[in-house]
Amino acid sequence: MKGFLTATQLGSLCAIGAAFLFSTKAIIIKQAYALSPLVDGTVLMALRMLSALPFFLLLCWFNRQHNKNIAPKDWIMLIFAGLIGYYLSSWLDFAGLMYISASLERIILFLYPTLTVLASSIIYKQKLSLKSGIAIALSYGGTVIVMLQEQSTVPHEGNFWLGVSLVFASAISFASYLLLTPRLIAKFGSWNYTGLALSIACLGTLTHYFIAIPSPITLLTQLPIGVIGYGIALGLLVTVLPTILIAQSISRLGAAQSAMIGSIGPVLTIILAVALLGEHMNAIQWFGCLLNIVGVMMITLSKKKLAH
């Protein structure tokens, strides 16, 4: 019993740590944007992935024995998953954060479990349950409340809905990645799949950077040291370390409990945004945030029960 409790406590700490580190992503991105006009989503993504790439390549190397007898179609699916999951999804998210608050970004991104449920119901032609319908209505209703309140109370330069659209597209892209993940993990193994998918995403991001930026090397030398530091923090503290922590949490607690603890993420992001970025959430927005979290957790926990 003592050993079990120790594993539970350690798993809970890992889940809390992962939730906290993930919640800092939007804050770090916003602060990096404020440091220099040279910084946009493409530049910051390149710094992030360049920092994270060595770790994921090592993960691939140590798990290379799992790559035997893999069909070409599975490799193609893996490349596609890596590109839409942590390249396209992340780029859309980083771009969207140039136009909306960190608080709203986190709330919109938190919708991705509902998107996987909606997509699954369409793909497999399954009717949504009443509970799932209520959960989706709560989560999207809460998100709309927060969006409309931000649009009416915070001055924007005409790109508010562009930012919302980019971040929502990011959530769709990540949900698509999650739909592909179970099958690919069964083929490649969990850690091997993570290393391969993230390495592909890193390489896709860096290719995008070198194509999109006219003088990519020169630009890197012109960036303030603070931006470089934020980029490294995004790579190591917001990408690599949480990936390890959440895997350790799931192995000790299970996916459902880890997801429950992870639901504090949007609240942590909002608190950090208020404290560090000067953002403000009124009572109506907090109510919308609560609806969003309740709806998403209803979906997430019901999915885990079905899986077991």
Higher pLDDT, 124 or 135: 135
Per-residue pLDDT for 306 more than 50? no
Minimum mean pLDDT range among 30-44, 54-68, 202-216, 254-268: 254-268
Closest CA to 95 of 5, 190, 170, 196: 170
Residue with tokens 């608080």: 103
Would you say 245 and 14 are in contact if contact means Cβ atoms under 8 Å apart? yes
Q: Which pLDDT score is estimated for 156?
A: 63
Compute the mean pLDDT over every residue in the chain, rounded to the nearest whole number. Answer: 89
Those residues with Cβ within 8 angstroms of residue 214's Cβ, 6 or more apart along the chain or in another chain:
none
- Residue with the bigger pLDDT between 51 and 119: it is 51
- Does the structure show a pLDDT above 80 at 99? yes
Provide the sign of the torsion angle of the four alpha carbons 188, 192, 198, 200, taken in this order: negative
- Among 300, 307, 304, smallest CA distance to 135 is for 300
- Listed in order, strand segments (DSSP E) in the chain are none
User: Is residue 285 a contact partner of residue 149, using CB atoms and an 8 Å limit?
Assistant: yes
The model's confidence at residue 10, banded by pLDDT at 50, 70 and 90, is confident
| pLDDT given at position 4 | 47
What is the percent of the chain where pLDDT is above 90?
A: 67
**DSSP state, residue 63:** T
Once rounded to an integer, what is the mean pLDDT over residues 259-276? Answer: 89
